[in-house]
Amino acid sequence: MENLSRRTALKGAGVLGAAGAASLVAPAVPWTWSPAYSIPGTGAGTDPRKVWDPEADEVIARLFRNPEQVYRVNNLLKGWTRNGQALPAGLPRELRDFIEHARRLPSWTDWDRLDAAVRFNQKHGLYLGVIYGFASGMMSTVIPREARAVYYSKGGWNLKDRISKTAKFGYDVGDLDAFRPGGEMIVTAVKTRMAHAGVRHLLPQSAHWNAVAPEAKPISQADIMVTWHSLPTTVMRNFDKWNVPIAADESAGFLHSWQITARLLGVQDEYIPASWAAADSQAQQVLDPILAPTPEGRKLADMLLDLGMNLDLSLISRGVLGALTRFVLGDKVANWYQIPREPVWSPLLETAWGPYVQIREGLLNVGMPREAYWLFDEFLRQFVLFYMSELRMPINIEIPVINNPKYN
């Protein structure tokens, strides 16, 4: 506790602005979200900021006793891509047992709801791409714990690679076969869970991360749910703002797909919201109050805005990305990182997006097949994945073996 206080004091006002400093020194709000609103409707009510993933952490920590073994495991798992695919031979028995257990869908999986999620994704794929990319992606830079964890881990060293893997995650959960044997979401989630365990093992060894992080270990259950809310909860908030009509069964299906995703990431059932109302109430406690700029987040945001460098030297794309960020996340977040209001793109989005949504939804209502929308959205998704991966397909999520080498 003494070390935590010392670190917190040293990090204060000289390094961050007032908002960033407040994110470090302000006392944590007590955990009050009730497990009565979770999937099982019950639970111990333990603060998830003090809960991690011991099952995954113990297995991955044992791998790191021989670092060469981590490289070998990553190489073996590179070919494991489909949900129904058998695990490769040669994995350590303990790791194999963990993966076989972790890949099981929860007993409360509802396939009718997942079918409804398919219809949701077919209709709304373009909106989801905008929100995942420009709301959730940029929002991660103003989630202080996430921004610091990304910046000082391997993800901060090669952000484009990290973003390509995040994009794969978002696209896999929305795939038509996401959780079925031919899909990839179960594999993607389990690999992400192991990657998180790798970060929890490595990042506390970083002097730079230790100097600025108030927590002793990154990626708690609460941190995972904060990121979770930056995705589906943020989607539903924006859909409401944009007046996107959603069928009740499809809304429930979309939620269910993300409930299963949370479980596959190692989140305990008592922290997984049972409804959108429960999700929003949890987000109001764990996401909304903690948003703040940090030096690490500012650098990450700048890198994100330059992702179009290889397309146009950022001459046009940076302005478009900045305008989208301001449009989706609002003036406050954009101003934190001094993202200018674009004279052309900002007014265009503000005036044209609403009519575009109405026209798109109107075409759906008069019989435009949702499969046609899906094909167009899928083309855009594949282009983004090829660009972000720099044509290195398929994208593979691995257990990290280093922190950001610039900050060892």
pLDDT at 4 over 50: no
The residue type at 183: G
Does this model's pTM top 0.85? My answer is yes
The verdict on whether omega for the bond into residue 394 sits within 30 degrees of 0, i.e. cis, is yes
Phi, psi of 64 (to 5 degrees): -70, -5
Domain assignment present for residue 195? The answer is yes
- Residues 222, 52: Cα–Cα separation, whole Å: 9
- Residues 156, 143: Cα–Cα separation, whole Å: 15
What pLDDT, on a 0 to 100 scale, did the predictor assign at position 21? 44
Phi, psi of 273 (to 5 degrees): -65, 145
For 369, residues 6+ apart whose C-beta sits below 8 A from its C-beta are: none
pLDDT tens-digit series, residues 156-203: 888 878 887 888 898 899 999 999 999 999 999 999 999 999 999 999
Other CB atoms closer than 10 Å to residue 275's CB: what's the count?
14
Domain assignment present for residue 206? The answer is yes
Instruction: Confirm if 304 and 321 have CB atoms less than 8 A apart.
Output: yes
pLDDT at 368 over 70: no
What pLDDT, on a 0 to 100 scale, did the predictor assign at position 364? 66
Report the interhelical angle of 234-241 vs 276-286 (nearest 10°).
Answer: 110
Going by pLDDT thresholds of 50, 70 and 90, the confidence category of residue 365 is low
More confident of the two residues 180 and 320: 180
Structure tokens at 391: 């044509």
Domain assignment present for residue 138? The answer is yes
pLDDT at 11 over 50: no
Instruction: Confirm if 345 and 317 have CB atoms less than 8 A apart.
Output: no
- Residues 82, 102: Cα–Cα separation, whole Å: 15
User: Mean pLDDT across the stretch 248-263?
Assistant: 98
- Residues 358, 361: Cα–Cα separation, whole Å: 5
Domain assignment present for residue 289? The answer is yes
What single string gives the DSSP state of each residue in 210-270?
A: HHH-SSSSS--HHHHHHHHIIIIIHHHHHHHHTT----HHHHHHHHHHHHHHHHHTT--GG
Domain assignment present for residue 408? The answer is no
The residue type at 13: A
Domain assignment present for residue 15? The answer is no
| Domain enclosing residue 104, as ranges | 61-398
Domain assignment present for residue 180? The answer is yes
Other CB atoms closer than 10 Å to residue 258's CB: what's the count?
20
Domain assignment present for residue 213? The answer is yes
For residue 289, give the DSSP letter.
G
Number of domains in the chain: 1
